[in-house]
Structure 1
Amino acid sequence: MDNQIISMIIQGVGETLLMVIASTVLGYILGLPLGIILTVSDKDGLKPNKTLYKILDVIINILRSVPFLILLIILIPVTKMIVGKSYGTIATIVPLTVSAFPFIARMVEQSLKEVDPGVIEAAQSMGATNRQIVFNVMMVEAKVSLITGTTIVFASILAYSAMAGALGGGGLGDIATRYGYYRREEQIMWVSVIILVVMVQIFQSLGMLLAKKMDNKKK
């Protein structure tokens, strides 16, 4: 491969990281509070609210059931309104975030519900408020599960970003599609795919290492 192709792939790596990291952060900004609200408002939660839980539950289930490529197309007007265009690296962050936050909300809900009820009851008996229980007890107790969930979220968003490349989303997915599929330059395609796989493996390894470290501290 010549220097121009190497430079293009390096740029593709940067664009992919930008899409994935930005979407993950924005996804957690939206999904984390939703996951907490779902946990608290559930029938066995700290402050049950059947109506609120049902509304959020239906919305999240609907968003999670829409295939990403369909969501990408549906959100074109919204994406264009927010960033001024419907294609490219920055534009792809919008559908990636919309796809990520319902998944994150559900994972946060599941992680928080795994916390031992005895720990929560102990905090309540000491006069802790619901807010203190959520942030000082449940979030702390569930941190290993939350970190593990983040590695899954990262891998999923990375896969979606590659799919977005088929529709001009930028990044390594775009390079693999443009050169590997349309131009039949298989070498570039395989290099892009291998880099994507390596990125997932590195992040998952770091995430699992951090989760294991947290778990050992907890013990």
Structure 2
Amino acid sequence: MLWKAAYETFIMVSWSLLAGLIFGTLIGLVLFLMSNQFFFKNRIINSIANFVVNATRSIPFLILMVTVLPLGALLVDTAVGPKAVILPLSIAAIAFYARLAENAFSQIDKGVIEAAVASGASHLRIIFGILFPEAMAQLIRHATVTTISLISFSSMAGVVGGGGIGDLAISYGYQRYVTEVLILCVVILIFIVMVIQYLGDKLANHFDKSYK
């Protein structure tokens, strides 16, 4: 049961994290570019994107999960199990990481960008040659925070039959008064979070120029 629950948590978190990192980074980059005078400043598109991201982030995950679940059931042909929860987890991850990614890009020294623009560098060269390398350490740190948040969100999957370690802790450890299972699940989750945080910090420090 524990191995099955761990596998279900891995499936939910890994796929939703992948979606969050890909689409969240793209949206965060667009938000930054649309608000920066050196690129494609557009108040209308930026306002719309900001509204969508903020509105999604303001919805409690449990409500978001119940609301989006029917759409997820149409896509994966099931309303139970870890696959059914991937869509709401992905939406939450995308909105969460998009704002963090925008913040990471916004922290880049404007003088570096201005110098690149003055030298005649193309937008693509600036994006991939300056923005991503300069923001990489922060992006990794934010990805670590997003991963840990997704593990927390996945614990609520048991409400809709999504499974996972959180569901095992509630259904067997709490509701059936099997304290050993509850404690074991908590210890495992703490260990996983600590490992992820450690690896995330080590990788971020590797790309952090100021840390070196």
The TM-score range, normalised by the shorter chain, is: over 0.9
| 2:64 matches 1:82 | no
Deviations 1:83-127 (A, max 9, x none): 111221111111100111011110010000000011111211221
Corresponding position of 2:155: 162
| 2:170 matches 1:177 | yes
Give me the whole-angstrom Cα distance separating, in 2, the residues matched to 1:39 and 1:69.
Answer: 29
Aligned partner of 2:200: which letter?
A: G
Corresponding position of 2:114: 121
How far 1:45 moved relative to its partner? 5.2
TM-score (norm: length of structure 2)? 0.95
Corresponding position of 2:84: 91
How far 1:210 moved relative to its partner? 0.9
Superposition pairs of residues 8-87 of structure 1, within 5 angstroms:
8-44=1-37, 46-87=39-80
In 1, are the aligned partners of 2:21 and 2:143 still within 8 Å (CA)? no
What's the % identity of the aligned pairs?
Answer: 36
Give me the whole-angstrom Cα distance separating, in 1, the residues matched to 2:38 and 2:11.
Answer: 36
Corresponding position of 2:146: 153
In 1, are the aligned partners of 2:144 and 2:197 still within 8 Å (CA)? yes
Q: Judging changes above 3 Å, is the alpha-carbon distance between structure 1 residues 213 and 62 closer, same or farther for their aligned structure 2 residues?
A: same
RMSD: 1.4
In 1, are the aligned partners of 2:69 and 2:87 still within 8 Å (CA)? no
Deviations 1:163-202 (A, max 9, x none): 1123311110111111012211111111111111111110
Tell me whether 50-59 or 76-85 shows the greater mean CA deviation: 76-85
Tell me whether 77-86 or 125-134 shows the greater mean CA deviation: 125-134
In 2, are the aligned partners of 1:87 and 1:169 still within 8 Å (CA)? yes
Structure 2 unaligned residues grouped into runs of 5+: none
Where do 4+ consecutive residues of structure 1 move more than 2 Å?
216-219
Corresponding position of 1:100: 93
Corresponding position of 2:124: 131
Give me the whole-angstrom Cα distance separating, in 1, the residues matched to 2:98 and 2:92.
Answer: 11
Give me the whole-angstrom Cα distance separating, in 2, the residues matched to 1:159 and 1:215.
Answer: 27
How far 1:131 moved relative to its partner? 1.8
Give me the whole-angstrom Cα distance separating, in 2, the residues matched to 1:78 and 1:166.
Answer: 17
Aligned partner of 2:103: which letter?
A: Q
Give me the whole-angstrom Cα distance separating, in 1, the residues matched to 2:192 and 2:28.
Answer: 27
Deviations 1:20-76 (A, max 9, x none): 111100112221111010000015452100000000000100000000000011012
Q: How many residues align?
A: 212
Give me the whole-angstrom Cα distance separating, in 2, the residues matched to 1:217 and 1:56.
Answer: 32
